Amino acid sequence: MSTPLLRLIPTDPHWEPEPAAIERARALLGRLLPDREIGHQAYRSVFFIDQGENFEEVRCPRCRTVLDVGWWGERVNRAAEHGFADLAVRCPSCDLDTTLNDLDYRLPAGFARFELTVADPPPDGLPAAGLSAIGQALGHEIRAVLTRY
C-alpha cells in the first residue's frame, strides 16, 4: 500500500530558509495538521520534488499544450547532469523560454533545495490560507506537492 506525503517547497528552487524560520513553519504545520509526522529536508543542490504515482502530465504554461514526456525527461536528465543549476528550457509547442520549475505540472511538482514534509496528509492537502501562512512563516511563497509512492 502506498503512502501519501505532502511536500511543501519554495517557489524559487535555489532559496533556503533560515533555521528559525524552519522551526516556525514546522510548529505551525503541527498546529494545522495535528497528529501528523512533520519533517524537513535540505539538499546540497536543487532536487526534483516529484509527485510519484500522482504524475499526470506536463503542460506549457503559456499555450497549455501537453508536452511529450520523452522531451521533458531528456531536459530533466540534462539539467540533472549539472546539479539542476540551470533549469532553462524552450517549450517546443510555442517557443516559450521558461524553466523546468515553471512548467505546469499536473499534479504540482517542482525543484527545490529545501522541503517541509507531512506524512499521511488530508486528501486535499492544506487549504490556501494554510499554505499562505506556512509561506509567511518560512519567509517565501511555497508550492504544495502531493506525492504518493
Q: Domain boundaries in the chain? A: 1-55+107-149, 56-103
Residue 52: strand pairing partners: 148
> Which grid cell sits at 32?
494545522
Q: Is the predicted pLDDT of residue 110 greater than 90, yes or no?
A: yes
pLDDT digits (tens, 9 = 90+) for 28-85: 999 999 999 999 999 999 999 999 999 999 999 999 999 999 999 999 999 999 999 9
**How large is the C-alpha radius of gyration of the chain?**
16
> Where are the strands (E) in 3-149, listed by range?
4-10, 38-49, 57-59, 88-90, 97-99, 104-106, 110-119, 142-148
By DSSP bridging, strand 4-10 and strand 57-59 are: unpaired
The fold of 1-55+107-149 is Alpha-Beta Plaits (3.30.70)
